[in-house]
């Protein structure tokens, strides 16, 4: 079925390799979207005169909630065939269309993995989700009935998060977890729940970014299939050419938090890293299935991992194999991406409550693998969780109260 076209930046447009947006197709039939853009489930606006983000008012006098009823920039209009890819970057209309298109793109991807429509947490209270742009907000939030995008200043230049796909996808990831797993109970919430939330949002962004053809092609061209190289896909919420908030490919282990934790973003890294390693191992399994690498290369990769010999030895072997079969490498990465996405969705369906532990997440993920493949990938899944100490150590207590920069203690968790 034909969909509606949008122009989206796979990564921030200030990066040299992503200066031009990519045309993507979302599931909305042509002509079904209203100006805004808007549909039956959500609408995007660029408010004029909105002085404060949603949440508790700056003076503490009220709770600010959608819908915004003040003035807005002229909405983005579809072309004569119902598409939005004719809009010009640098205009408010392109920015609102980019925000809407990115959210719809991410929801399409994950509704495919879930096999059904994903409800908004606020369904039943609000008819539609409001996607709002607020340049004065130096952050981005998904809350009850809204996603609100601010921006970031880098070397005197403002970069709006409404044009940053990773940030948008990350916020949609939080919204998915709040809808599917639940909002934490402050009286019975674990640090690992907070870490899981951030990890899940990062994974939604990572997997979603791998649905851009241009990013897939660039990633493979840069790495020749050696995904442990620092590359476009494992930069989460990238802010500049050489700075990123955190990396999916990391060496953090849960034993580092036995004495306690302070920031949920740091606590998320062992779990995110385990899932990134699982993605890489699934990729290698797919390459073996397609005959694109030999069993000896895959075994050597496992043996040299986390050693100084890995980069010089494996890069040459992967480069040779990639040059011989680039199309098979692409197919293998798409397969690994979709296996991980499907397994994550099924795992999140099975999880509930705010007392979730990483050990429980690992066991649920293994159960999903048994259901889908008869346990074909159990060894690699278990091995990657073991390498991060997941299931072997307990996370220590929260060492200090969450500060104003914490997303776990923010407008996200405010509900009626």
Q: What is the CATH number of domain 4-180?
A: 3.10.170.10
In this predicted model, what pLDDT tens digit does every residue of 144-164 receive, in sequence order?
999 999 998 877 888 899 999
pTM of the shown model: 0.93
Would you call 153 helix, strand, or coil by DSSP? strand
Parts of the chain with a pLDDT under 70: 1, 186-187, 230-246, 305-307, 402-413
Residues listed for the chain: 416
pLDDT at 385: 97
In whole angstroms, give the CA distance from residue 265 to residue 244.
13
Q: Which segments of the chain belong to CATH 3.10.170.10?
A: 4-180
pLDDT at 239: 60
In angstroms and rounded to an integer, the radius of gyration of the C-alpha atoms of the chain is 21
In whole angstroms, give the CA distance from residue 232 to residue 245.
13
pLDDT at 241: 55
pLDDT at 133: 97
In whole angstroms, give the CA distance from residue 210 to residue 277.
15
DSSP strand E in 229-273: where?
Answer: 235-238, 244-247
Taking 3-state DSSP, the helix, strand and coil percentages for the chain, each rounded to the nearest 5, stand at 45, 15, 40
Give CB contacts under 8 A, 24+ apart, made by 346-353.
346/371, 346/372, 348/176, 348/177, 348/180, 348/181, 348/200, 349/114, 349/180, 351/181, 352/181, 352/182, 353/181, 353/182, 353/185, 353/188
In this predicted model, what pLDDT tens digit does every residue of 291-309 receive, in sequence order?
999 998 888 877 776 667 7
Partnered with residue 143 across adjacent β-strands are 146
Please answer whether residues 11 and 238 qualify as being in contact, where contact means their C-beta atoms are separated by less than 8 angstroms: yes
Nearest C-alpha neighbor of 45 from the set 148, 168, 186, 171: 148
How remote is the C-alpha of 71 from its chain's centroid? Answer: 31
In whole angstroms, give the CA distance from residue 175 to residue 129.
11
Nearest C-alpha neighbor of 394 from the set 344, 356, 359: 359
Those residues with Cβ within 8 angstroms of residue 188's Cβ, 6 or more apart along the chain or in another chain? 353, 354, 355
pLDDT at 353: 80
In whole angstroms, give the CA distance from residue 53 to residue 305.
45
Q: Is the peptide bond before 37 cis (omega within 30 degrees of 0)?
A: yes
Token pair 């970057």: residue: 89
pLDDT at 222: 87
Please answer whether residues 273 and 319 qualify as being in contact, where contact means their C-beta atoms are separated by less than 8 angstroms: no
Nearest C-alpha neighbor of 219 from the set 306, 299, 329: 329
Would you call 250 helix, strand, or coil by DSSP? coil
The kind and range of the H/E element at 25 are strand 22-26
Please answer whether residues 130 and 146 qualify as being in contact, where contact means their C-beta atoms are separated by less than 8 angstroms: yes
């Amino acid at each position: 079925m034909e969909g509606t076209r949008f122009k989206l930046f796979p990564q921030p447009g200030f990066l040299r390799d992503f200066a031009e947006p990519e045309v993507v197709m979302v599931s909305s039939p042509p002509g079904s979207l209203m100006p805004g853009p808007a549909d039956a489930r959500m609408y995007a606006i660029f408010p004029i005169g909105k002085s404060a983000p949603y949440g508790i008012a700056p003076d503490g006098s009220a709770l600010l909630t959608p819908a915004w009823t003040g003035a807005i920039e002229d909405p983005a209009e579809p072309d004569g065939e119902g598409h939005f890819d004719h809009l010009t970057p640098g205009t408010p209309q392109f920015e609102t269309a980019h925000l809407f298109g990115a959210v719809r793109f991410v929801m399409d991807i994950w509704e495919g993995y879930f096999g059904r429509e994903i409800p908004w947490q606020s369904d039943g209270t609000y008819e539609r989700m409001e996607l709002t742009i607020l340049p004065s907000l130096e952050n981005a939030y998904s809350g009850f009935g809204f996603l609100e995008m601010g921006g970031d200043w880098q070397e005197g230049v403002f970069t709006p998060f409404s044009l940053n796909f990773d940030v948008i996808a990350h916020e949609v990831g939080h919204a998915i977890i709040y809808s599917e797993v639940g909002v934490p109970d402050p009286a019975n919430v674990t640090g690992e729940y907070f870490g899981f939330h951030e990890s899940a949002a990062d994974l939604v962004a990572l997997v979603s970014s791998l649905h851009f053809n241009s990013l897939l092609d660039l990633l493979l061209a840069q790495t020749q299939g050696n995904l442990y190289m620092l590359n476009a896909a494992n930069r989460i919420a990238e802010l500049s050419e050489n700075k990123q908030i955190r990396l999916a490919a990391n060496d953090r282990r849960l034993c580092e938090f036995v004495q306690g934790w302070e920031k949920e973003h740091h606590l998320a890294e062992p779990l995110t890293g385990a899932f990134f390693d699982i993605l890489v191992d699934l990729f290698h399994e797919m390459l073996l299935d397609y005959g694109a690498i030999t069993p000896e290369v895959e075994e050597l990769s496992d043996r040299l991992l986390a050693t100084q010999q890995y980069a010089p030895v494996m890069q040459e072997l992967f480069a040779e194999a990639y040059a011989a079969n680039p199309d098979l490498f692409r197919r293998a990465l798409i397969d690994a991406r979709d296996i991980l996405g499907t397994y994550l969705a099924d795992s999140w369906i099975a999880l509930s409550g705010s007392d979730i532990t990483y050990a429980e997440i690992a066991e649920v993920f293994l159960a999903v693998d048994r259901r889908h493949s008869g346990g074909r990938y159990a060894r690699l899944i278990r091995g990657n969780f073991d390498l991060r100490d997941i299931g072997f150590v307990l996370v220590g207590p929260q060492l200090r109260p969450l500060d104003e920069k914490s997303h776990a203690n923010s407008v996200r968790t405010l509900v009626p």
